[in-house]
Amino acid sequence: MNKKYFIVNFIAILIIILFYFLISNIINNSYEQKIIDNESYFIGNLLTKYPNLKEDIISSYLIKDNYEIGNNLIKEYNLITIKNNNIIILLYCLISALLLFIINFLYIRNIYKKIGKIDKYMNNILNGDYSIDIKDYCEGDISNLKNDIYKMTIKLKEQSELLIKEKKYLEETLQDISHQIKTPLTSMYMINDILTNESNENIKKEFLIKNKNQIERIEWLVTSLLKLSRLESGTIKLKKEKISLRELIDKAIEPINVLLELKNIKLTKNIEDVNLNVDINWTVEALLNIIKNACEHTLDKIEIIGSTNPLYTEIKIVDNGVGISKKDIKHIFERFYKGNHNKESIGIGLNMSKKIINLQNGLIEVSSKEGVGSTFIIKLYKNNL
């Protein structure tokens, strides 16, 4: 119940009690004055006629005898008349009851007004209007309810905005996936048409290899997108394990050793002896994507530098390729973004690497100069490892 309601009612009752005592005091004084007046008239008239009875009258006041005789005489001749004040007391009670009724009526009406506002506010929320502010800085149950509803509204608004954002994100993702898959599928349809009408076995074999490459491309795309969706949905729980930085780099390089040999790329490592606590598999995935990206863009050399300081462990992957233009560098980690120098890239790897590093409270940066090469810098902070 509202504290203000109790205070108002308490003050009203206190005023009524004080007013009652005031009226009672006035009535009692009126009774006393009437009795004094009657007795004064009686004694005055008696002494005027019989001055010698002064002592007898005083002794009569001191001796309380013969009450019934005097009382019967007063009643018989109606010698003392006192005005009946019951009407005044009744009127006072009615006014008091009316005052309490008005106070409670105004309080209840005020509550219903507040409830009406809350009801209107809730209907606005149901209709998607979150612009009204219902916060209340007063005390009481209604104010607490309004504040709780406001907090709930903020959460509903955030969830609604998040759902809209996710819906838009899903729509854009599906469009991107559709676009990425459409290209290899179109190539496969064309290859299939050629194979249907081709009789030369060597040409058939050549196009079958191309078809296989397109299938592998689609498979890799789907696998990568599944990994990305797991990262973005938060279903992946990273499991941190202790591993040396050198071993982590070796694990990331191992799958592309053949590619390095085929492209005659010289890879050098300068790595300090330091241990990390990271999710090994996902961190290897992140490093692998960045090193593969370096392989695609370098001329003939990649350098991996691993160092540590009191704040973080740093991994630098440096290539001597054509570099990244100023236009492209700010978009390099966006999903499905393709730079001007690599139209064959799907644009998933670097985006995935950034998400993996960020999930481990790390940072990934890139610096580049056209015609000189690019440097990817990964910082894994020690207080989060």
Give the domain CATH number at 272. Answer: 3.30.565.10
As a whole number of angstroms, the distance between CA 210 and CA 213 comes to 5
Q: What confidence score (pLDDT) does residue 268 get? A: 93
Q: Looking at residue 223, which CATH number applies to its domain?
A: 1.20.58
Pairing assessment for the beta strands 275-278 and 301-308 based on DSSP bridges:
unpaired
As a whole number of angstroms, the distance between CA 271 and CA 244 comes to 10
Domain co-membership, 228 together with 252? no
As a whole number of angstroms, the distance between CA 34 and CA 45 comes to 17
User: For each of the chain's 385 residues, which pLDDT tens digit applies?
Assistant: 556 667 777 777 777 777 777 777 777 777 777 777 777 877 788 778 878 877 777 777 666 676 677 777 676 666 665 555 667 666 777 777 787 778 778 877 887 787 777 777 777 777 777 666 666 656 666 677 777 777 777 787 787 777 787 777 667 666 766 766 776 777 787 878 877 877 787 887 888 888 887 787 777 777 777 777 777 666 677 888 899 999 999 999 998 888 888 889 999 999 999 999 998 988 998 999 899 888 888 888 999 999 999 899 999 999 988 888 888 888 888 877 766 555 555 677 888 889 889 988 899 999 988 778 899 999 999 875 5
Domain co-membership, 72 together with 189? no
Domain co-membership, 248 together with 357? yes
**Does residue 45 form part of some domain?**
yes
The residue from 126, 157, 183 where one domain ends is 126
Domain co-membership, 220 together with 282? no
User: What are 136's two structure tokens?
Assistant: 């209340």
Domain co-membership, 247 together with 314? yes
**Does residue 98 form part of some domain?**
yes
The residue from 71, 105, 126 where one domain ends is 126
**Does residue 133 form part of some domain?**
no
Domain co-membership, 248 together with 377? yes
Name every residue whose Cβ is closer than 8 Å to that of residue 153 and which is 6 or more positions away in sequence.
Answer: 125, 130, 134
**Does residue 135 form part of some domain?**
no
**Does residue 358 form part of some domain?**
yes
| Total of domains in the chain | 3
Domain co-membership, 292 together with 362? yes
Domain co-membership, 259 together with 359? yes
Q: What confidence score (pLDDT) does residue 384 get? A: 54
Inter-CA distances, 377 with 144, 270, 319, Å: 51, 14, 12
Q: What confidence score (pLDDT) does residue 197 get? A: 79
User: What are 58's two structure tokens?
Assistant: 């005083």
As a whole number of angstroms, the distance between CA 121 and CA 133 comes to 9
* Domain extent for 251: 241-384
Q: What confidence score (pLDDT) does residue 120 get? A: 79
**Does residue 79 form part of some domain?**
yes
**Does residue 151 form part of some domain?**
no
Domain co-membership, 223 together with 247? no
Domain co-membership, 255 together with 212? no
Domain co-membership, 375 together with 249? yes
Domain co-membership, 122 together with 197? no
